[in-house]
Amino acid sequence: MPLRKKRRDFGWLYIVCAGLLPLVLGIVCTAIEARHMVRQQQVATATILLAQAEKMSDNAWNMIAELGQYPSRPCSNIEQHLQRIGTLNAYFRSVGILQGNNITCSSAYGISDGTLEAMMMRPLPVTGKASWSLSLPGTSGVPHRPAVIFVRQLPDSSGVWAVIDGQYLMDFMHAMGESRGYQMSLQFGEGAIIASGKSEAPAERYMQSTPFQRESQRYPIRVSVIVPPAELIAAWRQALFIFLPMASIFSIMLMILTANWLRRRISWADEIRRAMRNRQFSVHYQPVYNNTLARCSGAEALLRWQLPNGEMVRPDIFITHAESEGVIVDLTRHLLELMSEDIASWPVMPGFHLGFNLAADHLQHADFTQDIMQFAQAIRDKQMLITLELTERSLIKDGEAVARKLRFLQAQGMKVAIDDFGTGHCSLSYLMTFPLDYLKIDRGFINAIEGLEIETPVLDAIINLCHKLKLEVLGEGVETALQLTYLQQRQVTFIQGYYYARPVASQTFLRWMEEHGTQPLSGITSAPH
């Protein structure tokens, strides 16, 4: 399968993944949001239920306090009062008086000889407290309906009690949770659980809702709220209904963006190769001024790409893509061919410098030395001084092998330079690894020159380092007379920039050389455009 077809097959996979990503994230996020919504509903429901239970407890203990005046009176004297109290106050099933464990009087039966245990249908709880409450599955009088009993033992072994009908609590829970299918429960002390709601079959783990429990800070009351899976699913569906249209739009947009990006990425290598075949590339040359000779002593070759519609493709764009897609070696060979064609008609003096950039991939290629020697052979009659410029755009992994190649080429009369020094991460490493003749200071350091009285410690340090290492120095991007003066004062030999001349096509370069090439910089009135 051709490489291009493989890339496009994978491209469709990328597009599909890009389209699915917002949808998957939407499903996950809505599931999380649904659980959050359900949790908030659980908390709110439990809070309301607990508040109602506390309110009923407040009424019960107020009733107990009111009943505290009756234990010392005979039942015949207080029976009607107890009946009236139990009838007129909501929630209460019965109230009564105790003597030890014996019920001596109640609002339901009047004089009674039963015990508290018999009414509760269970042993008395061991609390160690004079006042306690307990939820019951039923009482002796109403055995099949839950209740809550409140008891206070008085110092003289007498006591009072009140029973709240659990139906009120069940009705309240039913009213709150029926529409949503909530399962709710209440427990007073260590008593029976008063529950409301139907239990559903266990759901899948990811659809289960965690029970929410809350305890009262005032009374021994615990409430629990369980949301059924159906409610969680309903909340999830609601969130999906809101989010899914938006996620679908993002999905389509991301698929379009991914397709456009892939189309550009896939086509860059082919477009570059097509441009080489169609002669869309050309070489522009920027003159380099020699302060020692006071004339132009060389030029840097710069590759340019002009589309058929006249639009120019920026070098940083197509060179970056050429490196990333593995066509930089072919592009560099094309550059060498174009330069050979141009130089064939150049009437230049022997020793004229010609510099051009080399990519790390080409330096490490097995045919690198052969490519450079073929180029040198093609222009040997011009007796030009070829300068190989190393860039820091990509890392040179096998530094020693590249250094051996460069030393061989130096032995053939060529020079080696570092271009854009100081902008990458390998500047000092390059100084230590490779045999260098020139160092080109990046325009960023040159632009820092704002006045002769202002110091530029980094620039000065680079220049001093070059002098100590006996390297020739070239200042790039010189655009003002002030910058030129600053560099000249610090014995920078070579100057390159718009202040001297712009990069131009071969024929324009030859005309400029004829008119200005031998003139000192101060005598040049215009630069080529």
Cα pseudo-dihedral 25, 31, 36, 41, rounded to 10 = 150
Convert the pLDDT of each residue in 230-269 to its tens digit: 778 777 777 777 777 887 888 888 888 877 777 666 678 8
Look at residue 466 and tell me if it is in a domain: yes
Confirm whether 95 is domain-assigned: no
CATH of the domain at 473: 3.20.20.450
pLDDT of residue 1: 31
For the entire predicted model, the pTM comes to 0.54
Q: Give tens-digit pLDDT for 268-309.
A: 888 899 999 999 999 999 999 999 999 999 999 999 999 999
Query: Among candidates 148, 147, 82, 142, which has minimal Cα distance to 110?
Result: 82
Structural domain includes residue 234:
no
d(CA 115, CA 165): 19
Residue 419 lies in a domain: yes
Task: Read off the pLDDT of residues 152-161 as tens digits, 9 standing for 90 and up.
Answer: 998 888 899 9
> Within a domain: residue 525?
no
Segment 428-448 shows an average pLDDT of 86
162's CB contacts (< 8 A; 6+ apart) are 60, 63, 64, 67, 92, 94, 95, 96, 149, 150
Stretch 326-348: mean pLDDT = 94
Higher pLDDT, 451 or 290: 290
pLDDT of residue 523: 61
Residue 245: inside a domain: no
343 domain-assigned: yes
Helix ranges, 68-165 (H): 75-88, 116-120
| pLDDT computed for residue 114 by the predictor | 84
Q: Classify residue 7: in a domain, yes or no.
A: no
Radius of gyration of the CA atoms of the chain, in A: 47
The answer to which of 342-356, 437-451, 471-485 has the lowest mean pLDDT is 437-451
pLDDT at 37 over 90: no
Q: Name the pLDDT band for 427 (thresholds 50, 70, 90).
A: low
Domain range spanning residue 476? 279-520
Please give the C-alpha separations between residue 518 and each of 285, 337, 349, 470, in angstroms, as whole numbers.
17, 28, 11, 27
How many domains does one find in the chain? 1
What pLDDT digit, counting tens, does each position of 166-215 carry? 889 988 988 888 777 888 999 999 999 999 877 655 545 555 667 889 99
